[in-house]
Amino acid sequence: MARSDLIINLVKASVRGDVADARAVAEAIAADERSKKHSGVADRISRALDTPQPPQRNGQAHTPGIRVRDGSGGVQRSEPRRPLSSLYLDESIYKACDELIEEQRRADVLRAYGLEPRHRLLLAGPPGNGKTSLAEAIAYELALPLFTVRYDAVVTSYLGETAQRLRRLFDFVRTEPCVLFFDEFDAIGKERGDIHETGEIKRVITTLLLQIDDLPSYCVLVGATNHPELLDRATWRRFELRLSLNAPSSKQMIKYFHDQLNEFEGQPGYTAKRLCESVAPVSFSEAEAFFLDVRRRIALAQGARELRSILDDRVKAFRSHSRARIEGAIDGGKTDPSVS
């Protein structure tokens, strides 16, 4: 049976004559039934929503068909391709994610005991260490689409418009099981007590909290932030699972280099440890960028250069870029009057 709150919301929308709300709730009911493996009921609801309107008769005003308040423009839909096993994470992170995935897969068992699976996850840590990849991997393991929030399509300068677009976004998301990913979550979930923020951001956060509370458990919400200290305390408490993805250990990074080297043909002339120490990446994203660069050079060489030569060349280039970036940061700090 559908959730009682959805049925009540459907009745309220019908009584008000709000056809847009009625369709949004009906689609949410269909998604809820589909998440419970009640495909027959979900399909019947979908077919009922697609029923064509009768023609106008006897001069009666034609009632417009039910139209959903489409918030699809606020998200970018993608099909995940990265399995959880491809990530290099601490064992505790793997275990926590495995438990979340199991709860979602066996939600019917939990509901038989009056329980709901956890579906709100916050990922915190420095950039480049797998927060976005982990959100994609969770969607992959659950065989769900990944909806990434587009802030440029949600946040506006008009008073009240951001909150309205946020509500439309969540209305759209509820229509099917999915993983909803908020990257840089602190951009929209900032502390309301910040004296530098306007009243508008406080209204947005209040709307966000209400929408998160009302998000059904078949929609998995993943928020990622590099600055967890900036999050509103009430927002922080909404997440049932909070994980820290810190900078990789030397053991994890060497394992990554070892696996990458094994994919190449030819003699690299480096051990995984030596190459890792030569490149000295500070995050997985930097290490991934290095190996992508190597693959580009291999493809363009078309066998004319040995793997060892290409690796030597790319190590020098990577060191040069890293040094330039560091020197640029130092020079910027010297010229910044706020730095003493």
Across 289-312, average pLDDT: 95
pLDDT at 220: 97
pLDDT at 291: 96
21-25, 272-276, 320-324: least confident range:
320-324
pLDDT at 233: 86
Residue of 335 and 175 predicted with greater confidence:
175
Residue 146: strand, helix, or coil: strand
pLDDT at 136: 97
pLDDT at 23: 75
194-198, 238-242, 288-292: least confident range:
194-198
68-72, 152-156, 302-306: least confident range:
68-72
pLDDT at 324: 53
52-66, 121-135, 259-273: least confident range:
52-66
pLDDT band at residue 26 under the 50/70/90 scheme: confident
Across 17-33, average pLDDT: 74
- What topology is assigned to 72-244 in CATH? Rossmann fold (3.40.50)
pLDDT at 119: 97
pLDDT at 319: 86
First to last CA, the chain: 64
pLDDT at 40: 62
Which pair of structure tokens corresponds to residue 35?
A: 């998440």
pLDDT at 9: 73
pLDDT at 323: 56
Q: Work out the mean pLDDT of the chain and round it to a whole number.
A: 83
pLDDT band at residue 168 under the 50/70/90 scheme: very high
Residue 244: strand, helix, or coil: strand
pLDDT digit string, tens, across residues 58-81: 544 444 443 445 667 889 999 999
pLDDT at 83: 95
pLDDT at 154: 86
Which pair of structure tokens corresponds to residue 11?
A: 């009745």
pLDDT at 24: 75
pLDDT at 103: 97
pLDDT band at residue 22 under the 50/70/90 scheme: confident
- Given a contact cutoff of 8 angstroms between Cβ atoms, the answer to whether 248 and 207 are in contact is no
169-173, 245-249, 261-265, 318-322: least confident range:
318-322
Q: Is 160 left (phi over 0), alpha (psi -120 to 50) or beta?
A: left
| pTM (two decimals) | 0.74
Residue of 340 and 84 predicted with greater confidence:
84
Across 195-208, average pLDDT: 73
Q: What is the 3-state secondary structure (H, E, C) of the chain?
A: CCCHHHHHHHHHHHHHCCHHHHHHHHHHHHHHHHHCCCHHHHHHHHHHHCCCCCCCCCCCCCCCCCCCCCCHHHEEEECCCCCHHHCCCCHHHHHHHHHHHHHHHCHHHHHHCCCCCCCEEEEECCCCCCHHHHHHHHHHHHCCCEEEECHHHHCCCCCCHHHHHHHHHHHHHCCCCEEEEECCHHHCCECCCCCCCCHHHHHHHHHHHHHHHCCCCCEEEEEEECCHHHECHHHHHHCCEEEECCCCCHHHHHHHHHHHHCCCCCCCCCCHHHHHHHHCCCCHHHHHHHHHHHHHHHHHHCCCCCHHHHHHHHHHHHHHHHHHHHHHHHHHHHHCCCCC
pLDDT at 223: 95
What is the rounded distance in angstroms from the CA atom of residue 173 to the CA atom of residue 167?
10
